[in-house]
Structure 1
């Protein structure tokens, strides 16, 4: 595993009401959610990046108001029509 060092002002922890460990966990989840939202990674890979189970990642998607589905309604309808 690769380890990264991030210089963060101490005030950030107070502002977010998180200790460094909680901040790191939330930062990983936020990055994974955004990368999933942008369709850079799958749900499984995003969960791995976030360091959580896939179920926990899906819950995090809800907290960030990001759909767990990477298909638009039009794409789903098109696939259903194609299947007929």
Structure 2
């Protein structure tokens, strides 16, 4: 399941677990004020429910990997 932001960019993806048990794998993408990706969370497990139509806000300690993207004044990625 894809959840989009108001600019129709994927904000969060939620997928069923591989073994069909209750829970979901969630991946997040955050954007800066210009609509560019600024942070992405690697998929993490949440056992609260199956995928739903609402954004799940994670506890940072549950997210084991994050990628931060920074831009210079010309809009080029720097990190």
Fold conserved between structures, TM > 0.5? no
Q: Which has the larger radius of gyration?
A: 1
Specify which structure has the higher proportion of strand.
Answer: 2
Higher relative contact order, structure no. (Cα contacts within 8 Å, ≥ 6 residues apart): 2
